[in-house]
Amino acid sequence: MDDYIKKGTMNFRKANLALFAGAFSTFANLYMTQPVLPTLSKFFNISPATASLSLSLTTAALAFSMLIVGSLSEAWGRKPIMTFSMVAVAILTFLIAFSPNYHMLLTLRVIQGIVFAGLPAIAMAYLGEEIEPASLGAAMGLYISGNSIGGLAGRIIMGTVSDLFNWRIGMLTIGTISLLVAIAFYFLLPASKHFNAERLAFKPLFKSMVMHLKDPALLSLFGIGFLLMGSFVTMYNYIGFQLLNPPYSLSQTVVGWIFLIYLVGTFSSAWMGGLADQHGRFKILLTGIGLMLVGAVLALAGNLILKIFGIAIFTFGFFGGHSIASGWVGQRASHDKAQASSLYLFFYYVGSSVGGTSGGIFWTKYGWNGVISIILLFLVVASILTYTINKITIKKTRLG
């Protein structure tokens, strides 16, 4: 146990800073097109739904590649793949900034989606192997905070710089920051000491995956992840279109700063997670979905302050619900828990892709009311799935 990384040591600080920076870079780049979807729509003369593909196709590519990259790291090592991922992401962002047309931009974003998987699929495995168990919770919390802060910063930087200059300069700014972060990551992250390379064996992996998908409770949880993320991305993809148009006519900078609402999720995920321990996952997950429903309805309001308040409630409920659902997956899975969590993330990001783009179709045909309608539909189905899991759990308890 002496060679594990312990809290309070220099290596602990280095590892945490490196993985925080890695998560920051990954999620800043992943969501960089979201605040400028209206800009891309006008610049390339495309529909809002087509513009949303710059995020939807990227998250779909990330979802599929995450299922593979984690297994590749078992043979090739943790740090090399994570470092390659971060450098490649930065270079691809530079290339995307110079895209001559939208087809090239989408192609590069799909490649970037595949490359993104190198960090989130492996970072948690690295922490689990290298950090002593007593210090793991603190390390994991800091890594996850890098996810949310990176996503938030990427949106704000992109929105503000694009407003001051243009979207290409915004991407070049994020690419430059990402390249500097990748270099720092390489020098800061301690080399793996507890990693043992294994032969790639996809057959057992596929077999255990099928077993997870046969569990109706796990399948319901995967569906909830799909629907919650689908709702969340749809809300934030099209709120920009709504607020840039009359009667609000806000600037791109102001719309970008609206993503600060994300900060309520930093509190709600931990707070509602604690409530779930006291009152049960079913009640608190249903409460989270209920808050999302209330927030979505309030977002229909014409009054700007009430609309923003509704989005804040919606965001609060989303982060709380997501933290409970993802934690429930680990508790429910009887084997290969890491793989079950990867499957949850797979459905989660596919939900982002499907919801984000289908929301664009509703926006084009029915406006903001159409966007809220599809969100409410997703949340009603998520509520039904939550009741389904509860019935399965109660039945199992009675039989057990």
One-letter-per-residue 3-state SS of 77-128: CHHHHHHHHHHHHHHHHHHHHCCCCHHHHHHHHHHHHHHHCCCHHHHHHHHH
- Over residues 339-394, the pLDDT tens digits come to 777 788 889 999 999 998 999 999 999 999 999 999 999 999 999 999 999 888 87
For the domain spanning 201-400, the CATH number is: 1.20.1250.20
Tell me the pLDDT band of 395, cut-offs 50, 70 and 90.
low
**Reported CATH class of domain 1-190:** mainly alpha
Domain ranges of the chain: 1-190, 201-400
pTM strictly above 0.75: yes
Half-sphere exposure of residue 168: CA atoms within 13 angstroms, side-chain side: 10
Tell me the pLDDT band of 212, cut-offs 50, 70 and 90.
confident
Distance, in Å, from the CA atom of 323 to the CA atom of 337, rounded to the nearest integer, reads: 16
Q: Specify which of 25-39, 57-71, 204-218, 254-268 reaches the highest per-range mean pLDDT.
A: 25-39
Residue-wise DSSP of 130-189: HB-HHHHHHHHHHHHHHHHHHHHHHHHHHHHHHHHS-HHHHHHHHHHHHHHHHHHHHHHS
- Over residues 380-393, the pLDDT tens digits come to 999 999 999 988 88
1-190 and 201-400 have identical folds? yes
pLDDT higher for 363 or 271?
A: 363
- Over residues 49-98, the pLDDT tens digits come to 999 999 999 999 998 888 777 666 666 667 888 899 999 999 999 999 99
Question: Is pLDDT at 335 greater than 80 in this prediction?
Answer: no
Structure token digits, residue 265: 């999720």
Partners of 131 in the beta sheet?
5
Tell me the pLDDT band of 20, cut-offs 50, 70 and 90.
confident
What is the signed CA dihedral for 235, 167, 118, 225, rounded to 10 degrees?
0
Three-state SS across 186-244? HHHCCCCCCCCCCCCCHHHHHHHHHHHHCCHHHHHHHHHHHHHHHHHHHHHHHHHHHHH
Question: In 3-state terms, what secondary structure has residue 249?
Answer: coil
CA distances (Å), 55 to each of 83, 97, 223, 242, in order? 23, 15, 20, 18
CA triplet 7, 8, 12: central angle to 5 degrees? 60
User: What's the mean per-residue pLDDT of the chain?
Assistant: 87
- Over residues 228-267, the pLDDT tens digits come to 999 999 999 999 999 998 999 998 888 888 888 888 877 7
ω into residue 204 within 30 of 0, thus cis? no
Question: Is pLDDT at 45 greater than 90 in this prediction?
Answer: yes
Residue 339 CB neighbours (<10 A): 18
